[in-house]
Chains A and B, each alone.
Chain A
Amino acid sequence: MIQFERYTLSNGLRLLIHKDAATPMAVVNVLYDVGARDEDEKQTGFAHLFEHLMFGGSINIPDYDEPLQLAGGENNAYTTNDLTNYYCQLPAENLETAFWLESDRMLSLAFSEKSLDVQRKVVSEEFKEHYLNKPYGDVWHKMREMAYKQHPYKWMTIGKELKHIEDAQLQDVKNFFFKHYTPANAILVVAGNVETENVLKLAEKWFAPIPSGEKYERKVPQEPAQTEARRLEIKADVPLDAFVKTWHMASRLERGYYITDLITDILGGSASSRLYEQLVKGKKLFSSIECYHFGSVDNGLLTIEGKLVKGVKIEDAEAAVNEEVQKMTEQLVDEKELQKVINKTESTILFEDMSVMSRANSLAYYELLGDAELMNTELSKYQSITAEEVLAESKKIFDERNSNTLYYLSKN
């Protein structure tokens, strides 16, 4: 059980406190309810570019990192399609430094041309490093565009194209900030070796005076049910053929999400999983194969992705994948195999919860989903899943009409 207290400041900022006296450190985590799904299609990559700009100085403090490092702290941030999260850890005695820094950048950024200019370049290099200059780097650009026609999950967090980032203007940055980076759209978690009274006092002092801002109403078009199988074949300068296939799956709070999570573990994710055992070890069609999903808040994609053994025909590889998927829709998974993936989930949760930083992260995330208390009921949801439910959910997902297949072939 992860204990926490919940408060709401007068400006609407939600505050969670999680105490752990075993650590000398404190963690301050600020989650903003904005991700790449909130972007304009003509201006993608913005939520992530913005994450970079949040380190370029705020209205009263020229530099975020220096004072934090001076206080013995470290920080980082990440952006997903759903959210943006900032976190720092520092010696508990210096907790107020984190309040000072985080509240000032919630109040307002400095909006400097120089910072925008540099971060445009930095993000362009990040784009190149991870998506252009790597074999198979554009797989997910292609796959998202094929699988999503309406929902903004059709582009990646880094953005649809380099140009969107290169063209970002300071006025766009300001608009984005005042729309999304407000107390009403944020969740603050303070964790570690802290006292409630002190945290409340600091929150009142540093965060409460920030104007509430307007609560952003998300109007994201949901993806209509897919009714026809989609396929795409591309040839690229890669050494091996790759096979990627996705199926639309349930959204984060549906029971189907938990069932699908177990399905991905049955199929992939370990050396005793079905796809690895049958297709890498048994039939030797793939040199590597994985099955996973992204944990998306809205309806996500169950994915099977593998690299083929040189000389194998991709049609044969696909047929073998389909055969394994077919089994999921026809036969009940046996109790031992189901128990195995539930046990894996239990262990993953326990190991994750070892670090106070990770606990603070999770609390903010579950609060975003609706209630931080969900963190404590996750495991029991998995434990209650039956083989019949796995079969029923498999039938629902693994319908060819619900699928997107990408052949990523080697030119050579």
Chain B
Amino acid sequence: MSIVTEQLNRTIAPVIKDATEFELKLKPYEKYVLDNGVEVYAVNAGTQEVMSVELVFSAGNWYEQQNNIAAATNFLIKNGTKDKTAFQLNEHFDYYGSHLTRGCYNETANIVLHCINRHLATHLPVVAEMITDAVYPQHELDIYRQNMQQRLTVNLKKCDFVAGRLIDEYVFGKNHPYGVYSNKEDYDALQQQQLQAYYKQYYTEGKCIIFAAGLLPADFAQQLNSTIGQLPLNKKEIPAIVHPLAPAEQMKYRIINDEKGVQGAIRLAQPFPNRHHPDFQKVQVLNTLFGGFFGSRLMSNIREDKGYTYGIHSYILNHISTTAWMISTEAGRDVCEATITEVYNEMRDLRDELVDEEELQLVKNYLIGTILGDLDGPFHIIGRWKNLILNGLDENYFYNSVNIIKTISAKELQELANKYLQPEKFYELVVV
């Protein structure tokens, strides 16, 4: 008897399960409401003894009357309370290997704690203290102002930084929270009392939601309630503020920021509706095909065929009230115009020709695979939930999105390309 071994044929791909056959489940959250009305969304999962607690305040630059107040108030919330200096606050978290970070966005600003579970009880009272007792010392504001101004002067030398600011201004207008950017004088104008007032209104007595994830302690809800739950939050309605959009009239811009620059930062953008628009989720698929992943049309042509750039990407900005569809790259100075021409050529192909089944299947499988990988681990799961909840959406949106990826047709994608991927709708900017 002889054993016949089959010769391995390396040209034939192994059989795969189409990712579109996978069933995706978004693990549900648990929800509690603290004594003061603060809503808590929690995902209890994971393998390591670590967790995150994110306090989201309606305190972004949407609510400020003067540039940079929101960002400065958020940053300096960690730089001193009635009882603790900035150093003592930092040392408190650092000692336990924990991270207390903060960030300021458009509608929201947050305080985020990452720690090993057993240290949570030590940290929560200090987080509460930061929400009620931050003092905004003058010397801390002075150092912040000086260092931010210095950082700005360095950033203004970078073509990608300058381009990022200008394109937002063209799309949204420079007085809109999505289009505004920092100038040196804005930092000069910051006053201690302004920060203290903003802090009182939007943090101490502000509107707060909590997102938590990790292997949460059994008494997590009680721990939160006895600390954050006792603060004077959520007492007042936050003001309803409408910011009119002021998109620029001129569509094309070429700017020299650095005479000796060897690359240009290219940004193309068109205004786009928010997640509640019926086209939004479908356009996510079209965008992926166009410039949303390594195998996209833009990458394949402009990086992998022409070698004009290290990377080119398209994406929908993560804004809540309205947004924009953006294409972004840094390309060799002498090939910037050629790059823009190729971007428009790719738009034309998507308008004129149906995407073939193989490429469509690839994009679908890629997207589903990404979501599957991205639902891995408690921090990723709560991140999805947070995005849904802050945008006024629920799990139906998630499942609908998965369904759209699985079922969208080449014809629908072509129709969307004809509706949106029209060069004359795009602002066009090159900063060298």
Contacts and interface: CB of A to CB of B under 8 A. Distances in A.
- Secondary structure at the B interface, as helix, strand, loop or mixed, is mixed
A61 B14 CA distance: 12
A345 B96 CA distance: 10
B422 interface: no
Contact of A96 (B14, B46, B47, B330): B14
B247 interface: no
Interface string A149-174: 00000000000000000000000000
B140 to A, nearest CB: 8
Interface stretch (A128-136, A293-301, A397-405): A128-136
B309 A271 contact: no
Interface string A103-139: 1100100000000011111111110110011111000
B74 interface: no
Contacts of B253: none
A345 B97 contact: yes
A288 B263 contact: no
Contacts of B49: 350
24 contacts: A23-B376, A25-B373, A65-B295, A69-B294, A69-B369, A74-B373, A100-B13, A100-B14, A118-B306, A121-B306, A121-B307, A121-B308, A122-B310, A125-B308, A128-B263, A238-B154, A239-B154, A271-B90, A280-B143, A284-B143, A339-B95, A344-B94, A351-B114, A354-B50
A272 B87 contact: yes
Interface string B75-95: 000100000001100110011
A104 to B, nearest CB: 5
A391 interface: no
Of B19, B87, B331, most A-chain CB atoms within 10 Å: B19
A411 B393 CA distance: 53
Contacts of B330: 125, 129, 133
B372 A135 contact: no
B97 A125 contact: no
Interface residues of B, number: 72
Interface string A63-88: 00111011111100000000000000
A211 to B, nearest CB: 14
Interface string A330-372: 0000001001100111111011011110000000000000000
Interface stretch (B62-70, B203-211, B344-352, B359-367): B359-367
B153 A119 contact: no
A310 interface: yes
Contacts of B39: none
A347 B97 contact: yes
A277 interface: yes
Interface of B: 8, 10-11, 13-17, 19, 22, 46-50, 78, 86-87, 90-91, 94-99, 114-116, 143, 146-147, 150-151, 153-154, 156-159, 258, 260-263, 293-295, 303-310, 330-332, 361-363, 365-366, 368-370, 372-373, 376-377, 379
Nearest to B7: A209
A344 B309 CA distance: 38
Nearest to A89: B373
Interface in A288-337: 288, 307, 309-310, 336
A29 to B, nearest CB: 15
A125 B10 contact: no
A133 B370 CA distance: 33
B17 A93 contact: yes
A237 B366 CA distance: 44
A353 B339 CA distance: 41
A125 B332 contact: yes
A94 interface: yes
B94 A272 contact: yes
A69 B366 contact: yes
A91 B21 CA distance: 11
Ranked nearest first, the 4 interchain pairs of A and B with the lowest CB-CB distance are A72-B369, A121-B307, A347-B97, A72-B19
Interface residues of A, number: 81
A200 to B, nearest CB: 16
Contacts of A347: 50, 96-99, 115-116
A112 to B, nearest CB: 12
Given A70-B16, A89-B373, 14 more contacts: A69-B294, A70-B365, A70-B366, A72-B370, A91-B19, A100-B10, A125-B307, A128-B262, A135-B157, A273-B94, A280-B147, A309-B146, A351-B50, A355-B376
Contacts of A239: 150, 153-154, 156-157
A133 B369 CA distance: 36
Contacts of A125: 263, 307-310, 330-332
Contacts of A129: 263, 310, 330
Interface of A: 20, 22-25, 59-61, 65-67, 69-74, 89-91, 93-94, 96-97, 99-100, 103-104, 107, 117-126, 128-129, 132-136, 205-206, 209, 237-240, 270-273, 277, 280-281, 284, 287-288, 307, 309-310, 336, 339-340, 343-348, 350-351, 353-356
A287 B116 contact: no
Nearest to B99: A347
A346 B119 CA distance: 13
A118 B305 contact: yes
A67 B363 CA distance: 11
Contacts of B99: 347
A370 B308 CA distance: 41
B411 to A, nearest CB: 21
Contacts of A350: 48-50, 116
A378 to B, nearest CB: 14
A61 B47 contact: no
A118 B304 contact: yes
A25 B97 contact: no
Given A69-B362, A72-B366, A91 B372 contact: yes
Contacts of A100: 10, 13-14
A132 B157 CA distance: 12
A4 to B, nearest CB: 15
Contacts of A344: 94, 97
A240 B148 CA distance: 13
Nearest to A206: B8
A61 B262 CA distance: 36
Contact of B310 (A126, A240, A345): A126
